[in-house]
Structure 1
Amino acid sequence: MYEKERKELYNAHLLLEKYGLVAYTSGNVSVRIGDHVLIKPSGVPYTELKPEDFVVVDLEGNVIEGEKKPSVDTATHLYLYKHLDWAKSVIHTHSTFAMVWAILEKSIPVLCTAHADVFGEEIPLTEYAPVGSEAIGKAVVKVIGKSGAVLLRKHGVMIVGTSVDDAVKKAIFLEEVAKAAYFATLAGKPTPLPPDEVDRLYNQYHTKYGQK
């Protein structure tokens, strides 16, 4: 079941590992397929992960197909799919520089054009929520904006995308802008880009950039 999506998710996890956004068994990617969700199994190292390991669950968390237990973050993913109608893929990571901002309990301001291009707004911070329940999903829905990227207070990152590729791209770029913003604040007192310029850059990037 869902062979194409299994390969897509497998490649997404490899990309997250390649870019240093996940380590060992942490982090996960899921994709929604109608009333089903395909998600990484719990506690499986990336070096051992195979396409057939991904678990199919319904929107209530019942296992439809798979021999392994689904991720402990499954309830969070399912809450986001049920409450964000545009959500087609969800990623959770503990990427280093984004997590620094989450630990500091600070949203990431728009300090550079790359941030404005991809996200179009500051990366918001959730209230603290315990792992392994819908609480994180509820906290994300409260603050998520058009960027689809959220910092989980004292925890990590949650990304919501319109596709697996979209979510992976956001996860990669989020760590880059988090790193740049962190070092910029260490070196001086950077000022955010003006809101109208952020909007202009975001609209330009999302309408003119790439092979469209």
Structure 2
Amino acid sequence: MSTYPQGYPHSVLAEIERTRAVVATLHAELPRWGLVVWTAGNVSQRVVVGSAPGPDDLLVIKPSGVTYDELTPESMVVCDLDGTLVDGTRAPSSDTAAHAYVYQHLPHIGGVVHTHSTYATAWAARGEPVPCVLTMMADEFGGDVPIGPFALIGDDSIGRGIVETLRDSRSPAVLMRNHGPFTIGKDAKAAVKAAVMVEEVARTVHIARQLGDTVPIAPSDIDSLYARYQHVYGQQQPTNTPESDS
């Protein structure tokens, strides 16, 4: 039986159900890319309740301690931005408070992902940023992948560390010290992509270091690469131009 508070319009309820399906599907990407083991990791996506992102929004996230092959749209849980369960039959992920804090304080963010992917987590264990020595890093992260502070699990401390580290950063990924990577994006799909990419660059830079010193990229070149990738790369949306009178 639904436990949604009264007053949500049909459009919001429909968006919740759509988001449940999206989040369930995206969770399957984490084991597919080798980013998690057993029940570790989580994906969430914001559900905008009003005309723009705000404090009354909701989030959809996986339930705590449930294996990936058990996840379905119906098993996804819905919470408010205080991390309180709004709808669902299971307890939400233990990282829900961290996700909720990000949505509260970064209204432009629509998706959050956490993994324990091997190489990115190894850098987190060292407390060392991944240096920007690959053009792919400049493209995706706009510089180094930063380290966030150590924080205990269970309250919004991790969320605070994510926001403090990424608020003024171009990187969509942070390596929380002694914990692992958290990624953000305009939606959950973008955050999953960032999780895949941060593991790839962490692995590649680690291997490169085994061969010797890495070569940094000049800051001006990082800026150029980032701008091109963000604004030119890929399929651009066509612009409508007025028809000529001739």
TM-score, with structure 2 as normaliser: 0.84
Other-structure match for 2:38: 24
How far off its partner does 1:132 sit?
1.3
Q: Distance in 1 between matches of 2:112 and 2:130?
A: 20
Q: Which amino acid aligns with 2:175?
A: L
Partner AA of 1:201 in structure 2: L
Q: Please provide the CA RMSD for this pair.
A: 0.9
Runs of 4+ deviating beyond 2 Å: none
1:195 is matched with 219
Q: Report the counterpart of residue 128 of structure 2 in structure 1.
A: 106
| Separation in structure 2 between the aligned mates of residue 136 and residue 191 of structure 1, nearest angstrom | 32
Instruction: Using the aligned pairs only, state the percent identity.
Output: 42
- 1:62 CA drift (Å): 2.0
Partner SS for 1:30: strand
Q: 1:129 aligns with which of 136, 148, 151?
A: 151
Matches of 2:107 and 2:84, distance apart in 1:
20
What is the Cα deviation at residue 46 of structure 1? 0.4
The residue type equivalent to 2:73 in the other structure is P
Q: Which residue of 1 aligns with 2:234?
A: 210
Which ranges of structure 2 fall in alignment gaps of 5 or more residues?
1-12, 49-56, 237-246
The residue correspondences of 1:53-202 to structure 2 (distance < 5 A) are 53-144=75-166, 145-202=169-226
Structure 1 CA distance, aligned partners of 2:86 and 2:155? 20
Partner of 1:9: 23
SS of 2:114's partner is: strand
AA in 2 matched with 1:65: D
Structure 2: how far apart are the matches of 1:65 and 1:141?
Answer: 26
Cα deviation, residue 85, structure 1? 1.7
How far 1:105 moved relative to its partner? 0.9
2:231 and 2:83 map into 1 onto residues whose CA distance is 37
Deviation at 1:140, TM superposition (A): 1.4
